[in-house]
Homo-oligomer: A and B are copies of this chain.
Amino acid sequence: MVRTNESSASTLDTELRRGALVLAVLSHLRTAQYGYSLRQALTEQGMPIEEGTLYPLLRRLEAQGLLASDWRIEDGPPRRYYKLNSKGTRLLADLTANWQALVVTMNRLLK
């Protein structure tokens, strides 16, 4: 099945949330989380994210030096926990400020 173009709304909606996704993930990783639980938490809070989107995103953010990760064995299968490091914490603050400026700008544009 090919993606139809009957409603470009869904595609554009995806684009709309695309950048906010990173910010949502970063904001959740102020405390250590593993991918699967993070996905559930985000879904519950109105920001659903596919596995095939979330896991590569976490790897990218770690590769960019924003996250630290470690494997942990508790009950259940091994889990990879991610957490903001100091650079990631600073970036979260910056991005949050940028986000809020964007919201102000968009409010002006949309009215």
Contact = CB atoms under 8 A, between A and B. Distances in A.
A96 B5 CA distance: 20
Interface in A74-111: 91, 94-96, 98-99, 101-106, 108-110
Contacts of A33: none
Interface in A4-62: 5, 8-9, 12-20, 22-24, 27-28, 45-47
Contacts of A18: 15, 18-19
Given A27-B110, A28-B109, A109-B45, A19 B17 contact: yes
From DSSP, what is the main secondary structure of chain A's interface residues? helix
A23 B106 contact: yes
Given A12-B22, A13-B94, A96-B110, 18 more contacts: A8-B64, A12-B19, A15-B18, A16-B19, A16-B20, A16-B23, A16-B99, A18-B19, A20-B106, A23-B109, A23-B110, A24-B105, A27-B109, A27-B110, A45-B105, A46-B104, A99-B110, A103-B103
